[in-house]
Chains A and B, each alone.
Chain A
Amino acid sequence: MTPLLRVLAAAFVALSGTALAQDYPARDLTFIVPYGPGGSTDPISRQFASQMEKELGRSIAIQNKPGAAGTLGTSAIVTSRPDGYTIGLAPNTTLLFAPMTNKDLVFQSTSDYEPIAKLVSLPYVLVVKADAPWKTLQEFIDDAKKQPGKLRASVSGIRATNDLTMQQLNRAAGIRVRTIPFTGGGGEAMVALLGGRVEAYVGTGASTAGHAEAGSVRVLAVFQKGRYDLFPDATPTGDAGYDATLGPIYYAIAPKGVPQAALDKLSAAARKVIDSAEYRKFAADNGYSVENLTPAQIREEFVRDHAMFTDLLKFLEQK
Chain B
Amino acid sequence: MGRTHGKGRAYLATGAAGVALSAGYLATARHLPLGEMNQPGAGVFPAIVGILVLLASLAVLWEGWRMPRDATVEFPAGADALRVLGLLGLIVAYVALLPWLGQVAGSFLFCLLLIRLLSDTGWVRAAVQAALIAAVAYFVFIRLLQVQMPRGILGL
Contacts and interface: CB of A to CB of B under 8 A. Distances in A.
Contacts, number: 4
Contacts of B148: 30, 61, 63
Contacts of A30: 148
A30 B155 CA distance: 14
A98 B146 CA distance: 31
Interface size class, chain A = under 10
A61 B146 CA distance: 8
A63 B148 CA distance: 7
A61 B149 CA distance: 12
Interface string A25-66: 000001000000000000000000000000000000101000
A20 B82 CA distance: 51
Summarize A's interface: helix, strand, loop or mixed.
Answer: strand
Interface string B120-150: 0000000000000000000000000010100
A299 B148 CA distance: 31
B148 to A, nearest CB: 5
B146 to A, nearest CB: 7
A61 B142 CA distance: 12
Interface string A206-241: 000000000000000000000000000000000000
A61 B145 CA distance: 12
A61 B148 CA distance: 9
A30 B149 CA distance: 12
Contacts of A61: 146, 148
B152 to A, nearest CB: 13
B154 to A, nearest CB: 14
B43 to A, nearest CB: 14
Nearest to A158: B39
B100 to A, nearest CB: 14
A163 B143 CA distance: 41
B71 to A, nearest CB: 43
Contacts of A63: 148
Contacts of B146: 61
Nearest to A181: B39
A54 to B, nearest CB: 19
A30 B146 CA distance: 12
A63 B146 CA distance: 9
Q: Which 4 pairs, one residue from A and one from B, show the smallest C-beta to C-beta distance?
A: A63-B148, A61-B148, A61-B146, A30-B148
Interface of A: 30, 61, 63
4 contacts: A30-B148, A61-B146, A61-B148, A63-B148
